[in-house]
Chain A
């Protein structure tokens, strides 16, 4: 059993403490916007915020997330008002298949919180998610657009 605070709500999840946070979020809490792509912290599809920092949830055991503030893609917008990264993604039509984009958006939102005006080098260093559709050109444009918003 673990007590998780996700998008402002508390959930008691009956799982082994070693269960990765990703699977607790998806299978116990039922929020499926966070994706699985590799399970070994390589691709970033599972990125969520834990106390504001971008974390690859496929390798974080639920035990380590207890008592922390977790935000998933479903909790990024403020009610119906899109987060500025989501808005920039919409305006720049970033997603292709979209599967990687939850993680991509969460990684970028964390970057912008820390560095509101990231340089290309900042982006290169901090956004290391895999996108097999290859949306990187639009991702970069949209990050700069979000930084200006």
Chain B
């Protein structure tokens, strides 16, 4: 199925939206004129988003990537809601980036990250569905020679009310595709939604139960060869030499090739042969200056930033210095968060086929357009000679969005073996060595109180890495990385939920040679721990209940407060916890959603934590598929708590020390707490779902651990403190 290439077309049309990337010429009109754009099987495209087959099958195009988060189903629900089609006849397909470029970005942004799949595209995908519905009704009305106002559509059936005549979408699609689309289709009021907000079943489950789902890692092409690769373990280091002759006669080995200036690959009939030969290949690296860097040297650099004079300011009101100087009581703490690897279950891979006339890549990617750009750059071919085919991802979590190093490598290898498809697969070990790691960050917090124990000032100084400096320097604001302050901004999608009379939140940027990346949740992970654990510390320092202490600071933040109250109520915060059970709270706003958690834990022997239950609330504005949102919440906690308890990438001699899941562990089912989700959409905005809740689990558990033991843990992961999750 994945080798099917949607037919390309000369016609370029677009469903326009301001959400489309700036800087690209975007037509705001959809198809017009007599000729019809057709899908691969000849069925007419009614709009770029909707293809309808004669048998009434509705194919909905999905530009974003499905990596487990359910966006495929959610986005299809949005289109189908406006289309008024029969949900049981809905299928989906990915348009290709190359096609999108040819059609002036007909499908908008392909990037799937930042919990944006739905919240950034809800408007234009719904318009794509509404436009198609209007055109289909128009086509039926034309055939019947009646006004459209007398016709209505439901379940893929169009009815002429006065006469009772009926037809189906499949029958009129051909005629509809020739019509002029309406200028600006009206969208339903949320109160009229029938499909959005319903927990319909995912569209992509069955093949994942039988082994039939084809991931990038499973691709097979006639004549395909398999590649295994080693890149210089020290970031920034180079490949010096290797002795190919030592392995060329090993079974199956076809080629040993240099990849860029830092890697070498063995290409063989099977991947196991390639990997076996690569392990036997003598390689000499030129590790360079970075080989002197260690976790300790990085920590020392960050520590210096905690008290540095210069820092980028993101949130400031009043005069915090004065408030601290004149405080009756001061509370101070330093926290730290480590490098972490994404470790999606499917290791990095890409399959490439190169000829001087055409370069094609098949890849699990969170951003088809970025993979396309990497293909162009590595192949040296123009856009009309390249194509990228996306496959469902075996997990992404941010690793497969902004970074396509594995695509570049696959193309560079394929280029040396023209005409032969080559599948590059990384070992888990290569994935551990060459991640785009969760940034390292330290944070010093100082709280100031007056003599009546009112919080008068808070200074939060972050010191550590900037992802944007490394990945998208053009997005910096006069050197400042605004992304560092997720959850700490004065307002917006990452707005802080507290009002403090004198507040200063700033960042001393300290970058390392270890490449940072967007790790599910990104910077809210550490910011939530810093802020929410310190809130707890301050509450205890002045002898106040952590919930009441927060509430006093949250009166101007009703949505943050509502989420916090929801978990406190459900957990029964006002009543004592059962014997031996201790509670902790946290709240945050992230990716446009308001989230909160209450963790209930018990502790054995002082260092064995059992999480009895986590109550979690999310107000994501509109909830497209509540059952899938609950799964995202529970799943995000597995990811976040694995990070809290188990995961740290340490640096020695410039390289990452962890090699596989034996020393970079991930939570198992035995450690899984019961997660009680409260999905509380308050309407009027579109918040994210895949990432927001991840950040509240860790501080809620840490605060509960303090309640249980009186010990405050300020560095992650907990395994470094001898604490285990049981």
Chain A contact residues, CB within 8 Å of chain B: 15-16, 19-20, 23, 26-28, 30-40, 42-43, 45, 72-74, 76-77, 82, 86, 89-90, 93, 95-102, 105, 123-125, 127-140
Contact assessment for B205 and A95 in the assembled complex, using a CB-CB cutoff below 8 Å: yes
A13 CB, nearest partner CB in chain B, Å: 11
User: Can you show 8 pairs from A to B with CB atoms below 8 A apart?
Assistant: A27-B272, A28-B270, A38-B660, A38-B661, A72-B211, A77-B210, A95-B202, A140-B672
- Pick from A42, A96, A127, A136: contact of B69, CB under 8 Å: A96
Contact assessment for A96 and B68 in the assembled complex, using a CB-CB cutoff below 8 Å: yes
Interface code B579-597, partner A: CB below 8 Å = 1, 0 otherwise?
Answer: 0000000000000000000
Contact assessment for B669 and A97 in the assembled complex, using a CB-CB cutoff below 8 Å: no
Contact assessment for B213 and A98 in the assembled complex, using a CB-CB cutoff below 8 Å: yes
Cα separation A130 to B671 with both chains bound (whole Å) = 11
Most central of B68, B209, B344 by chain A CB within 10 Å: B209
Tell me, yes or no, whether B428 is within 8 Å of chain A by CB. Answer: yes
Which of chain A's residues have a CB closer than 8 A to the CB of B393? 97
Tell me, yes or no, whether B406 is within 8 Å of chain A by CB. Answer: no
Other than the known A32-B217, A37-B345, A140-B669, what 4 A-B pairs have Cβ atoms closer than 8 Å?
A39-B660, A45-B345, A73-B211, A98-B207
Contact assessment for A93 and B631 in the assembled complex, using a CB-CB cutoff below 8 Å: yes
Interface code B491-534, partner A: CB below 8 Å = 1, 0 otherwise?
Answer: 00000000000000000000000000000000000000000000
Contact assessment for B211 and A97 in the assembled complex, using a CB-CB cutoff below 8 Å: no
B271 CB, nearest partner CB in chain A, Å: 7
Contact assessment for B67 and A32 in the assembled complex, using a CB-CB cutoff below 8 Å: no
Category for how many chain B residues contact A: 35 or more
Contact assessment for B675 and A97 in the assembled complex, using a CB-CB cutoff below 8 Å: no
Closest 8 CB pairs of A and B: A33-B211, A134-B638, A98-B208, A99-B394, A97-B68, A96-B68, A134-B635, A124-B670
CB-nearest residue of chain A to B640: A134
Contact assessment for B668 and A36 in the assembled complex, using a CB-CB cutoff below 8 Å: no
CB-nearest residue of chain A to B630: A137
Cα separation A73 to B210 with both chains bound (whole Å) = 6
Which of chain A's residues have a CB closer than 8 A to the CB of B270? 23, 27-28
Contact assessment for B214 and A129 in the assembled complex, using a CB-CB cutoff below 8 Å: no
Cα separation A99 to B628 with both chains bound (whole Å) = 17
CB-nearest residue of chain B to A125: B670
Contact assessment for A132 and B669 in the assembled complex, using a CB-CB cutoff below 8 Å: no
Cα separation A46 to B333 with both chains bound (whole Å) = 45
Which of chain A's residues have a CB closer than 8 A to the CB of B634? 134-138
Which of chain A's residues have a CB closer than 8 A to the CB of B392? 97-98
Cα separation A35 to B207 with both chains bound (whole Å) = 14
CB-nearest residue of chain B to A96: B68
Contact assessment for A136 and B672 in the assembled complex, using a CB-CB cutoff below 8 Å: yes
Interface code B335-358, partner A: CB below 8 Å = 1, 0 otherwise?
Answer: 000000001111100000000000
Which of chain A's residues have a CB closer than 8 A to the CB of B674? 137
Which of chain A's residues have a CB closer than 8 A to the CB of B22? none
Contact assessment for B638 and A32 in the assembled complex, using a CB-CB cutoff below 8 Å: no
Cα separation A33 to B235 with both chains bound (whole Å) = 34
Tell me whether chain A's interface is mostly helix, strand or loop, or mixed. Answer: loop
Cα separation A16 to B661 with both chains bound (whole Å) = 27
CB-nearest residue of chain A to B393: A97
Which of chain B's residues have a CB closer than 8 A to the CB of A140? 669, 672
Which of chain B's residues have a CB closer than 8 A to the CB of A42? 660-662
Cα separation A57 to B69 with both chains bound (whole Å) = 28
Contact assessment for A105 and B209 in the assembled complex, using a CB-CB cutoff below 8 Å: yes
Contacting residues of chain B (354-413) with chain A, CB-CB under 8 angstroms: 392-397
Given contacts A36-B217, A96-B68, contact A101 B635 (CB under 8 A): no
- Pick from B209, B215, B668, B669: contact of A99, CB under 8 Å: B215
- Pick from A32, A96, A134, A137: contact of B211, CB under 8 Å: A32
Contact assessment for B346 and A123 in the assembled complex, using a CB-CB cutoff below 8 Å: no
Which of chain B's residues have a CB closer than 8 A to the CB of A101? 208-209
Contact assessment for B660 and A23 in the assembled complex, using a CB-CB cutoff below 8 Å: no
Tell me, yes or no, whether B637 is within 8 Å of chain A by CB. Answer: yes
Contact assessment for A98 and B68 in the assembled complex, using a CB-CB cutoff below 8 Å: yes
- Pick from A16, A19, A86, A99: contact of B346, CB under 8 Å: A99
- Pick from B209, B631, B668: contact of A89, CB under 8 Å: B209
Tell me, yes or no, whether B294 is within 8 Å of chain A by CB. Answer: no
Which of chain A's residues have a CB closer than 8 A to the CB of B661? 37-38, 40, 42-43, 130
Which of chain A's residues have a CB closer than 8 A to the CB of B635? 96, 133-135
Contact assessment for B395 and A137 in the assembled complex, using a CB-CB cutoff below 8 Å: no
Which of chain A's residues have a CB closer than 8 A to the CB of B213? 98
CB-nearest residue of chain A to B342: A132
Given contacts A23-B272, A32-B220, A134-B636, contact A96 B672 (CB under 8 A): no
Which of chain B's residues have a CB closer than 8 A to the CB of A132? 343-345, 395, 397, 638-639, 666
Contact assessment for B637 and A134 in the assembled complex, using a CB-CB cutoff below 8 Å: yes
Tell me, yes or no, whether B212 is within 8 Å of chain A by CB. Answer: yes
Which of chain B's residues have a CB closer than 8 A to the CB of A15? 272
Contacting residues of chain B (629-664) with chain A, CB-CB under 8 angstroms: 631, 634-639, 660-662
CB-nearest residue of chain A to B668: A128
CB-nearest residue of chain B to A42: B661
Which of chain B's residues have a CB closer than 8 A to the CB of A97? 67-68, 344-346, 392-396
Cα separation A37 to B431 with both chains bound (whole Å) = 11
Cα separation A98 to B346 with both chains bound (whole Å) = 10
Which of chain B's residues have a CB closer than 8 A to the CB of A93? 201-202, 205, 627-628, 631
Tell me, yes or no, whether B474 is within 8 Å of chain A by CB. Answer: no
CB-nearest residue of chain B to A73: B211
B235 CB, nearest partner CB in chain A, Å: 23
Contact assessment for B201 and A35 in the assembled complex, using a CB-CB cutoff below 8 Å: no
Tell me, yes or no, whether B288 is within 8 Å of chain A by CB. Answer: no
Which of chain B's residues have a CB closer than 8 A to the CB of A99? 215, 344-346, 394-395
Tell me, yes or no, whether B326 is within 8 Å of chain A by CB. Answer: no
CB-nearest residue of chain B to A98: B208
Contact assessment for A35 and B394 in the assembled complex, using a CB-CB cutoff below 8 Å: yes
Contacting residues of chain B (34-80) with chain A, CB-CB under 8 angstroms: 67-70
Tell me, yes or no, whether B206 is within 8 Å of chain A by CB. Answer: yes
Cα separation A16 to B346 with both chains bound (whole Å) = 25
Which of chain B's residues have a CB closer than 8 A to the CB of A82? 209-210
Contact assessment for A35 and B672 in the assembled complex, using a CB-CB cutoff below 8 Å: no
Which of chain A's residues have a CB closer than 8 A to the CB of B660? 38-40, 42
Which of chain B's residues have a CB closer than 8 A to the CB of A37? 345-347, 428, 661
B725 CB, nearest partner CB in chain A, Å: 12
Tell me, yes or no, whether B218 is within 8 Å of chain A by CB. Answer: yes
Contact assessment for A134 and B205 in the assembled complex, using a CB-CB cutoff below 8 Å: no
- Pick from A23, A26, A34, A131: contact of B638, CB under 8 Å: A131
CB-nearest residue of chain A to B66: A97
CB-nearest residue of chain A to B209: A86
Contact assessment for A95 and B217 in the assembled complex, using a CB-CB cutoff below 8 Å: no
A127 CB, nearest partner CB in chain B, Å: 5
CB-nearest residue of chain B to A89: B209
B609 CB, nearest partner CB in chain A, Å: 15
- Pick from A90, A98, A138: contact of B394, CB under 8 Å: A98
Which of chain A's residues have a CB closer than 8 A to the CB of B205? 89-90, 93, 95, 98
